[in-house]
Structure 1
């Protein structure tokens, strides 16, 4: 829950393209996305309503089938989804996108980076970790990643799974579905690839706020699924689980959500379950050092991780009963920002730079010395930064009525020892928010670069 690295304001141009039911060429499209035209939608920002073209009248007809939607899109050459998202940072508030258009948005499976890292926040998410079955090794892992990649490509295009599709999402479009794959520390020993395990994947250090459940932490393989339709997301989760077959078994699985695009009258940064605007200071693709901070360089080590990233996954329970007992002023002092609009307590708007030296009439700092937003600023952590792309979660209530709710924290960085770890260590030493949260599960995964056409994710590792 770091202010500097929240996700809602950090899109990268998403590789959106027209959904298609065949390999037929789409006017104005390329392998990496769609060509800009008068019909090109405005850029999207994570957590903000997407601006997408649908049918020629702007929205698809109610009740349009999944097959008909995709076939029509291919025939008319519509430009769908979020193209050129980086410009969205400075975009003026605009009218919300009708929810009827969300199903047509599509992210691309093939590309320089895997999907689900720089795309806009999705309304529904599933995180699932697998352990390879006893006796399964490199050969079985390669076959599994080949199956998973083929399924991900089909589902992200709005097509059914190749075998035994459940028909759960047959009436929907792609709905911005993304499926992302990563490898845990234990994967390399299980597959005899220990010498190829990157040093950046060394286990995270212990933190004082940790109350970790080992059964819900780590894993050989990790899959992140996100979509703007709950049925589309579940359909993908079920397909991935079925594809695992006898090669791997589920270790743990978690479900999350975000605000639906178009739910607000105008685009705005999302709020977390504490009611705070969360996502003001995420790194932006327009930053000169964005790729350097978030992605492993093309000539980096190990070579199979080129253009990949490292995902830190933390299940963070929010102690909402305690938090909600605080007054508004107390809550704002814990965070260091106004609850109403996300502006720093030192003044201005949400995006105004925080004045850490500003003092009140009593001589004390306006932004308290232990405020969460102060502690997590990159300039207070040697420049450490990470790209956050979380989901909120709620898993019911305890016998005493205590909510099991909080944040499925996911952050991306080129090296967790230069991203997540220094920030979390700083938080451990005096973050005012720490007494209102509890880290209950954790994982670190190496997420290789995107698969080229004809490749599967992780092929350069498994067949290198």
Structure 2
């Protein structure tokens, strides 16, 4: 049993179920589950970097934050061992062990008798609050990791902010994600509890190219090239050099922003005004001085902003100057739909995530340029947080706990 299975058993919590659900049983399953040929294979779990950062986003995601409730540092280490074990099992797939008819099943069964990996990617991060005085980890804290501040134009709800751990699950099917979340919650009971959770999805290209957000514009066109290793080392990956601790090499700083879109008001705005706010054509995604989505805007030929306004989103977020080149981020966006609010308005928006080497130099520099941009009248950031996405677990002898061991 994992450390948390043992602890929960001794406390008498869910004793029968946890007694039958061992990490080793599923990890040692003899047969692999058949794969859905329409689902792209996930990258290997082991590697220098975690999956879910450079890879093309899956169709579905769960972005969640957890509070660690382990009693002491040994309990935290147990938790991270268990979390690693479950991630290995779930991303590999297989046949769960049979516990017999008198004990709860070892698996929820929502994916059938043989669990497919479903292209699942698991991405784990740590928040600044994990390095408080509970577990003696102050010396291990990444230098740029802080609690996310409230920026002008934010309307942050504390219940939807921050957390000790971040967990992102990505796959093409909702049942794969819910199965993984239930499995992890079951095996880490007593070690961590959900602080907030948001389900998101990507849209198919309409008609081609980058997905659209719920304002109708293509979202995330101008990302750095993830196939360029030198560019990723410059903009995305932590180097492990001072002032960061050495263990951070291969990880990345993650910013999560939960952004509601006030679509009832947006839908009353004229097309020309919408395009002026973004600086792009709504139908093609091209900059207003271009023809195609991937055309680079020619700000230097339009210094007065007569074609692309000086206040437009693309011009303020990424001025494309030598001075701002180092502030570029790797952006990953997922739409969300939570139905209606208490007064009957649509509750839809964006799970904005981005990865970078340095939050202050990259995300915060960009966010400060965006203060009071015209779009702020139609969006309302209400949650999220800063996290450090751990480096990859490089082989079967290692776990997430290796990064925080003193």
Shorter-chain TM-score: which interval?
0.7 to 0.9
Deviations 1:328-384 (A, max 9, x none): 111111100001110000122111110224559xx8510011100111115356220
Structure 1 residue 317 displacement after superposition: 0.6
Provide, for residues 394-445 of structure 1, a one-character-per-residue CA deviation record: whole Å limited to 9, x for no partner: 11112432111101111111111111100001101x4221111111012111
Find the counterpart in structure 1 of residue 65 from structure 2. Answer: 129
Match of 1:204 among 148, 162, 168: 148
1:368 aligns with one of 306, 309, 315? 309
Looking at structure 1, the residues matched to 71 and 189 of structure 2 have their Cα atoms a distance apart, in angstroms, of: 12
CA distance in 1, matches of 2:143, 2:206: 46
In 2, Cα distance between equivalents of 1:338 and 1:295: 33
Determine the structure 2 residue equivalent to 1:223: 167
Over 3 Å counting, the alpha-carbon distance change for 1:443 and 1:161 in structure 2 is farther
Contact 1:112 1:450 in 2 (8 A): yes
Query: TM-score, normalised on structure 2?
Result: 0.84
The superposition leaves residues 225-244 of structure 1 with CA deviations (integer Å, 9 ceiling, x where unpaired) of: 11011110111111111122
Residue in 1 that maps onto 2:274:
331
Are the equivalent residues in 2 in contact too, given 1:450–1:457 (CA < 8 A)? no
1:356 aligns with 2:299: yes
- 1:155 matched to 2:99? The reply is no
SS at match of 1:152: helix
Q: Distance in 1 between matches of 2:248 and 2:32?
A: 36
Counterpart Cα distance in 1 of 2:93 and 2:208 = 26
Residues 277-296 of structure 1 correspond to what in structure 2 (within 5 A)?
277-287=218-228, 288-296=230-238
Give the Cα–Cα distance (whole angstroms) in 1 for the partners of residues 281 and 162 of structure 2: 35
Corresponding residue for 2:123?
Answer: 180
Q: CA deviation at 1:106?
A: 2.4
Do 1:103 and 1:174's aligned partners in 2 also have CA atoms closer than 8 Å? Answer: no
Match of 2:6 in 1: none
Partner Cα distance (1:342, 1:305) in 2:
37
In the alignment, the residues of structure 2 paired with residue 145 and residue 341 of structure 1 have an alpha-carbon distance, to the nearest angstrom, of 45
C-alpha distance in 1, partners of 2:147/2:34? 46
Alpha-carbon spacing, 1:125–1:286, altered in 2? closer, same or farther (3 Å): closer
Alignment-derived partner of residue 392 in structure 1: 335
What is the DSSP-based 3-state SS (H/G/I as helix, E as strand, rest coil) of the residue aligned with 2:335? Answer: strand
Question: Which whole-Å CA distance do the structure 2 matches of 1:265 and 1:331 have between them?
Answer: 18
Of 136-145 and 307-316, deviating more is 136-145
CA–CA separation in structure 2 for the residues paired with 1:68 and 1:461: 31
Contiguous gaps of at least 5 residues in structure 2 = 1-26, 98-104
More deviation in 166-175 or 434-443? 166-175
The C-alpha deviation readout for 1:286-317, integer Å capped at 9, x for no partner, is: 44432221001255621111100011111011
Is 1:237 aligned to 2:181, yes or no? Answer: yes
Q: Is 2:195 the partner of 1:251?
A: yes
Q: Which residue of 1 aligns with 2:76?
A: 141
Of residues 330, 333, 340, the one that matches 2:283 is: 340
Deviation string 1:177-208 (CA, Å, 9 cap, x unpaired) is 11111111111122111121122002334311
| Aligned residues of 1:102 and 1:175 also touching (Cα < 8 A) | no
Q: Over residues 40-72 of structure 1, what are the superposed CA-to-partner deviations in whole Å (9 max), with x where a residue is unaligned?
A: xxxxxxxxxxxxxxxxxxxxxxxxxx95625xx
Q: In structure 1, what is the equivalent of residue 366 of structure 2?
A: 423
Tell me if structure 1 keeps the 8 A contact 2:256–2:384. Answer: yes
Measure, in 2, the Cα distance between the counterparts of 1:69 and 1:178. 17
Count of residues in Structure 1 that have an aligned counterpart in Structure 2: 367
Equivalent position to 1:450, from 357, 378, 392:
392
Residues 293 and 101 from structure 1, CA distance in 2 versus in 1: closer, same or farther, beyond 3 angstroms? same
The residue aligned with 1:166 is 108
- CA change 1:113–1:396 in 2 (3 A) is same
Q: Which deviates further from its counterpart, 330-339 or 297-306?
A: 297-306
2:247 maps to 304
How far, CA to CA, are the matches of 1:161 and 1:188 in structure 2?
A: 36
1:318 lines up with 2:261 in the alignment: yes
| CA apart distance, 1:102 | 2.4
CA RMSD of aligned residues (A): 2.5
State the SS of the aligned residue for 1:289. Answer: helix
Provide the C-alpha distance between the structure 2 equivalents of 1:378 and 1:341, rounded to a whole number of angstroms: 21
CA distance in 2, matches of 1:377, 1:413: 15
Would you say the 8 A contact 1:103–1:173 is kept in 2?
no
Q: Is the 8 A contact 1:212 1:440 kept in 2?
A: yes
Q: Point out the more displaced range, 107-116 or 295-304.
A: 295-304
Match of 1:29 in 2: none
Kept in 1, the 8 Å contact 2:235–2:329? The answer is yes
Q: Are 1:160 and 1:167, in contact at CA under 8 Å, matched by a contact in 2?
A: no
Displacement over 6 Å in runs of 4+: 21-24
